[in-house]
Structure 1
């Protein structure tokens, strides 16, 4: 496994392969999946720079152009993975106010894509721009497909790898589905109830699309070393489903990082809810129940893990109302 050499500083080629993830909350999830698929013990260092609720439109909220320059100034970036766009259905304010999809809006947005990409390429990084996945809401999905058309166009223009996900996240019937086959061939719930984000099983599968692209990269146009020399075939997502039997739980799997803490919250700004489909609005208001669902799913991921039996009077005895002890009279007594 040979790290991509840094064109600006060849001495930085020593050490682990440094993979940096940029983007919004979907980027958060891809980082979590890559962290599990590319362990540090195997010579990888996966670093998260994604920020929830950010995008390329609102520089006043978070300026990715400035942030990425600060990051490459202090970090060696061998591989950059970018997944962003779910928060960008807004007007751009730059020398005036420009409506979404207008000619000026599109020109500015493309320039910001190019700027982010060029900073990473100048660092010597191999850039993988991840396509936004299929969405449950048709209206929201159409906007995400519009963003994908811009990302794909600029990826080709900038000579970077475009990682496709939309078709690969549809159900067998070609429509949106919350369920799918994980990277071990088992049927799992892959999407959270907001119809936008993924469960940990889903994020691991998304990460598999990225590692596949790193291993193959046919027609890669950047000056970086071919990706087949970067990611060994052993981390690729299997092409044929394996046996659905549950594997024996191993210590590294249990020790993997916890799922992203915010899988259930849509990144649509509150001001954007007006006029949105009812299913999107309902999913936004269901944040609290989604958090509980995410926690339950996280516990199910830790296969074989059993909580210790609660002892009366101990802090983990959830049968006792808060502020009471076993000797306190209980309701109805």
Structure 2
């Protein structure tokens, strides 16, 4: 290759490089209008960028692009449903008015006595001859006589109420130190129980000395096993004192334990239905529990009060006698023509002979199909035409 040809080719290459450089510069100038100024290399001038640099600018909070939101559809209105008819609750008939001379049941003691009083009031709601008077102090007992002294307050209540029966339920608050004449007695020492038994006897005598029937209700179990053990020991003392002085002790314990003797919150009510009997504290009573406590006392109360504790009682007062029909009874009517009969008349039981006497002669009778089957072992023929009649039909000759 000649020297002139080499110079020509070199000049062409330089011309091409200069053209590419001018083209890159012009392209960079146009791009600089849209993109910030950046450092460029020779490769950038020769071959350009594969993709433009991103643009950045400060955006305010409300300038960020957000995806288009679709308008929310309003929920379709549900078809109107007819309101269910109101359930008719049976109305409790009003309780009958109490008689002016109704006998009163006085219930005294602590918060358990208040529960028994509520239950008895419900039990004898329909008994016009019985009124329940509750005189209880929830925090009282026979130990803290400085707080409430039942030995002094009970005679006043008896004179005021004039009860036909007294129910006592006390002792749930008595598991504490006692101050007696001999000093302080700590629970549960022997000295403590000796003094406590003396106070129980003294309270019961204030009732029995006035010849008023006494029912001492036992304490029910509670959730705490230790407290239940102490209350069970109290019940044994109450039973001993009440029966010694002519009163009656009613044990409530079995109504609030299961078959193994363990405390239960839920059990059978007076109707045999499973309900909640005790409160969440394991001590207080629900309405069903109160009614169940009274259920154990009802039999004894009705026995002591007699007809006055019967529901639907109609008492005949001398100053307000009932009106009798004006039509006189006529002894000549057919309804009164009943012949008298002695109680010892043998004809009452269908016999007129003594045991061992001769039997009357039996008249002959036609043996029944049963008798024939028993004596001969041959069943009688079935009636003609019945399904079990297997005789061949007779052929007329």
Q: TM-score range by the shorter chain?
A: 0.5 to 0.7
Answer yes or no: is the 8 Å Cα contact 1:211–1:231 preserved in 2: no
Q: Does 1:109 align with 2:201?
A: no
Distance 2:119 2:312 in 1: 16
Secondary structure of the residue aligned to 1:53 is: coil
- 2:216 is aligned to 129
- Counterparts of 2:161 and 2:210 in 1: how far apart (Å)? 10
CA distance in 2, matches of 1:25, 1:80: 16
Q: How many corresponding residue pairs? A: 213
1:167 aligned to 254, 267, 270, which one?
254
Consecutive unaligned residues in structure 2, runs of 5 or more: 1-99, 314-397
Matches within 5 A, 1:245-324: none
Per the TM alignment, residue 79 of structure 1 is displaced from its structure 2 partner at its CA by 0.7
Q: Which of the pair has the greater relative contact order for Cα pairs under 8 Å at 6+ separation?
A: 1
Match in the other structure for 2:281: 194
**Alignment match of 1:54 (pick from 112, 116, 140):** 140
Residues 93-102 or 47-56, more deviating: 93-102
- TM-superposed CA distance for 1:70, in Å, is 1.2
How big is the shift at 1:34? 0.7
Q: CA deviation at 1:204?
A: 0.5
CA distance in 2, matches of 1:233, 1:210: 16
Secondary structure, counterpart of 2:136 in structure 1: coil
Q: For each residue in 1:87-144, what CA deviation from the matched residue of structure 2 results, as whole angstroms up to 9, or x when unmatched?
A: 0001110221011132322222112111111111233321110011122211111111
* Cα-Cα RMSD: 2.1
* Bigger-Rg structure (1/2): 2
- Structure-2 residue corresponding to 1:158: 245
In the alignment, structure 1 segments of 5+ residues that lack a partner are 1-13, 217-225, 236-333
Deviation at 1:152, TM superposition (A): 1.1
Q: What TM-score, normalized by structure 1, do the two folds share? A: 0.60
Deviation at 1:174, TM superposition (A): 3.0
| 1:236-247 map, 5 Å | none
- The match for 1:120 is 207
Spell out structure 1 runs of 4+ moving beyond 4 A.
Answer: 226-230
Q: Return the alpha-carbon distance in structure 1 between the equivalents of residues 118 and 243 of structure 2.
A: 27
1:32 corresponds, among 111, 118, 136, to 118
Structure 2 residue 189 is matched with structure 1 residue 92:
no
Distance 1:91 1:115 in 2: 19
